[in-house]
């Protein structure tokens, strides 16, 4: 294929994902091959007790990421992107963005990382008899109602980050079903009518001039038309003015849905684990769970199949923090080492750890962790005076604790006899070959596969969803499309669980559970 002509003819497909620390853009062809990439670094801020990003950061990140991708295309092929076959938008799942009639943001964006909606989540779970975690959008809405926040009466629309960016580019107030299932509970391919009625009844006495159906985004499934890039949207995305309007866009999805696509885990009995700032395991179910579990979210694939989701707010942030500290030491000594090389070296060092990890314990709780009962968190490292405090043991517990909460949730699914044929890992945790994969195999005590695209993550996943919208044939399902047209030639590596690492992780988990009282004491200081 002549890639230069392919892009010039407007056949390439663009996906962008707003992650927790990085906004990433990917340009692909119809087969999913990456043609160019772009990126933009950003970071959330804790403002008045709320994890948020400023509205101006949305615009800067959108333009910055696309500009970076344009430059990559220019550097590689000597051309400028003028047109595209399709575009897809993805972002951090859940959260709360509320707007008035004029489209003005009424309150700072509340990200998935906030765990301040516990009262609302508990009440809604009781009323719905369906698990509503406190990071879900409907929990945030009900919490600001319970708190009597002034802006609620003016709400005319609320959505997630992916939904907001999509609306900016298209004018359409829609969401893909996977993302929408993290806003409000689903029944079939739409919001649950019963629970919508229950919510309206719950807030009726407040006298708000809206009903819940009126302010939620419209739900779309993968492959459906989600609008086109408007003139205003094109100028917002490409500040140079080179990109044409009218490009079709797929339903916007959250990072959970795009992660499932990126790992070809949308078919029943498949599962994937996404490990980055947060970590979540997604298992596509043959049948619904037998009962409500507060530790398990019930969401959907981008094409509407039921999914059991085990979500933890904290994964790699503490690993990153320690690595930056080690980099400071290296810089102080005048050593020349890139961050990428340092991460790789530290991950590999963990393979030399003792079986008991030197009896070290670590909690990576930058924020609260619902699955272990924490509304707020504090990163914590614990050792005994006689613990074997080596670098290998230290790094092993950092990798293990990234999956401590996930293991607790997976034990619940095991008791529900949830069948899993294959598990795939993706995200930054797996960039170092073998190490992260072997840790996850020990956590799951099952074979874990990682694809070559594992590091591409959700930006690539949503680009593939955009390709599906543009290219799908009549009656073609998303699982069949992925199997036959995207992953048929995809290379992957599979690791069986190493019994020594399994035993090591299980010993760590015994200490992890015992030490939770110490973490709680630290939080309450």
- Which alpha helices (DSSP H) does 39-187 contain, by range? 55-77, 118-128, 137-146, 161-170, 177-180
b/e per residue 246-260 (b: at least 16 CB within 10 A): ebbbbbbbbbbbbbb
Q: How far apart are the first and last CA of the chain?
A: 62
**pLDDT at residue number 370:** 83
- Could you identify the residue written with the tokens 């359409």? 172
Which tens digits make up the pLDDT trace of 412-464? 999 999 988 889 988 788 888 899 999 999 999 888 998 875 555 789 999 99
How far apart are the C-alpha atoms of 468 and 32, rounded to whole Å? 10
Predicted local distance difference test score (pLDDT) of residue 390: 98
pLDDT band, very low/low/confident/very high, at 114 (cuts 50, 70, 90): confident
Tokens of 105: 């943001």
* Interatomic CA distance for residues 369 and 492, integer angstroms: 32
366-416: per-residue pLDDT in tens? Answer: 988 989 989 889 999 999 999 999 999 999 999 999 999 999 999 999 999
Q: What is the dihedral of CA 253, 255, 258, 260, to 10 degrees?
A: -130
Which H or E run contains 401?
helix 391-401
Residue 213 in this model has a pLDDT that exceeds 90:
yes
**Tokens 């930006």 map to which residue?**
459
Q: How far apart are CA 345 and CA 261, in angstroms?
A: 30
Distance CA 200, CA 195 (A): 9
Mean pLDDT, to the nearest integer, of 192-210? 97
Average pLDDT on 231-260 reads 96
pLDDT at 232 over 90: yes
Confidence of residue 20 (pLDDT cuts 50, 70, 90): confident
The pLDDT confidence band at residue 250, using thresholds 50, 70 and 90, is very high
Q: Taking CA 190 as the corner, what is the angle to CA 188 and CA 196, rounded to the nearest 5 degrees?
A: 110
pLDDT at 320 over 90: yes
Residue 119 reports pLDDT greater than 90: yes
Question: Residue 253 is encoded by which pair of tokens?
Answer: 């999805």
* Whole-number percent of the chain with pLDDT over 90: 85
- Residue whose token pair is 């102080």: 332
What is the distance, to the nearest Å, from the Cα of residue 122 to the centroid of all Cα atoms in its chain?
23
CA distance 275 to 281: 9
Is residue 302 very low, low, confident or very high in pLDDT (cuts 50, 70, 90)? very high
| Alpha-carbon distance values, 465 to 13, 260, 264, 396, 405 (Å) | 10, 11, 11, 36, 30
Beta strand residue intervals within 427-473, DSSP E: 448-451
- Strand ranges (E), 8-94: 13-18, 22-28, 34-41, 45-47, 50-52, 86-91
Q: Say how far apart CA 13 and CA 186 lie, in whole Å.
A: 30
Residue 456 is predicted with a pLDDT of 59
Contact criterion met (CB below 8 Å) for 160 and 97: yes
* 86-111: pLDDT as tens digits: 999 999 999 999 999 999 999 999 99
Contact 357, 327 (CB under 8 A): no
pTM: 0.83
Burial tier of 265 (Cβ tally within 10 Å: 0-12, 13-18, 19+): buried
Q: What is the DSSP letter of 495?
A: E
**pLDDT attached to residue 454:** 52
Q: What is the DSSP string of 190-255?
A: EE-HHHHHHHHHHHGGG--S--HHHHSPEEE-TTS---B--HHHHHHH-TTS-SPS--BBPPPEEH
| Residue in the block written with tokens 């299980």 | 506
Does residue 173 have a pLDDT over 90? yes
How many whole angstroms separate alpha carbon 140 and alpha carbon 480?
36
- In this prediction, residue 35 carries a pLDDT of 97
Mean pLDDT of 145-169: 97
* Average model confidence (pLDDT) across the chain: 94
| Both structure tokens of 226 | 């989600």
**Interatomic CA distance for residues 309 and 255, integer angstroms:** 12
Q: Which residues contact 422 (CB under 8 A, 6 or more apart)?
A: 265, 269, 270, 271, 447, 449
């Amino acid at each position: 294929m002549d890639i230069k002509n392919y892009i010039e003819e407007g056949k390439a497909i663009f996906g962008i994902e707003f992650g927790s620390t990085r906004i990433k853009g990917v340009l692909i062809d119809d087969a999913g091959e990456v043609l160019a990439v772009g990126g933009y670094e950003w970071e959330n801020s804790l403002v008045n007790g709320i994890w948020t990003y400023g509205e101006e950061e949305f615009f800067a990140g959108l333009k910055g990421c696309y500009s970076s991708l344009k430059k990559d295309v220019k550097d590689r092929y000597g051309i400028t992107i003028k047109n595209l076959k399709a575009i897809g938008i993805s972002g951090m799942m859940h959260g709360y963005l509320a707007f008035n009639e004029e489209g003005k943001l009424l309150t700072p964006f509340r990200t998935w990382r906030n765990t301040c909606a516990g009262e609302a989540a508990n009440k809604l779970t009781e009323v719905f008899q369906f698990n509503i975690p406190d990071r879900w959008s409907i929990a945030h809405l009900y919490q600001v109602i319970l708190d009597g926040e002034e802006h609620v009466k003016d709400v005319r629309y609320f959505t997630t980050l992916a939904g907001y960016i999509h609306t900016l580019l298209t004018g359409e107030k829609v969401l893909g079903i996977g993302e929408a299932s993290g806003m409000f509970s689903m029944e079939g391919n739409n919001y649950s009518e019963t629970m919508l009625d229950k919510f309206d009844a719950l807030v009726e006495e407040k006298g708000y001039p809206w009903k819940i159906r009126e302010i939620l985004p419209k739900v779309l499934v993968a492959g459906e038309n989600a609008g086109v890039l408007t003139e205003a949207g094109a100028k917002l995305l490409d500040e140079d003015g080179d990109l044409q309007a009218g490009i079709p866009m797929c339903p916007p999805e959250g990072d959970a849905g795009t992660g499932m696509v990126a790992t070809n885990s949308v078919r029943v009995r498949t599962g994937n684990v996404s490990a980055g700032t947060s970590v979540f395991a997604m298992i596509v179910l043959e049948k619904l769970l037998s009962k409500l579990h507060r530790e398990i979210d019930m969401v959907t694939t981008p094409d509407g199949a039921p999914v059991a989701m085990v979500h933890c707010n904290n994964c790699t942030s503490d690993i990153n923090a320690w690595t930056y500290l080690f980099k400071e030491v290296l810089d102080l000594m005048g050593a020349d080492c890139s961050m990428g090389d340092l991460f790789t070296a530290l991950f590999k060092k963990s393979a030399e750890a003792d079986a008991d990890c030197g009896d070290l314990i670590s909690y990576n709780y930058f924020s609260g962790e619902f699955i272990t009962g924490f509304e707020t968190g504090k990163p914590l490292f614990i050792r005994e005076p006689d613990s074997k405090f080596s670098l290998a043991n230290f790094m092993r517990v950092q990798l293990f604790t990234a999956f401590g909460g996930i293991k607790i949730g997976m034990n619940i699914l095991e008791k529900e006899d949830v069948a899993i044929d294959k598990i795939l890992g993706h995200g930054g945790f797996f960039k170092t070959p073998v190490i992260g994969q072997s840790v996850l195999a020990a956590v799951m005590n099952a074979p874990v596969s990682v694809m070559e695209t594992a590091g591409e993550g959700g930006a690539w996943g949503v680009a593939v969803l955009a390709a599906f919208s543009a290219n799908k044939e009549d009656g073609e399902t998303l699982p069949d499309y992925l199997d036959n047209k995207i992953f048929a030639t995809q290379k992957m590596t599979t690791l069986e669980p190493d019994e020594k690492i399994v035993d090591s992780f299980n010993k760590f988990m015994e200490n992890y559970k015992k030490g939770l009282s110490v973490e709680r004491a630290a939080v309450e200081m």
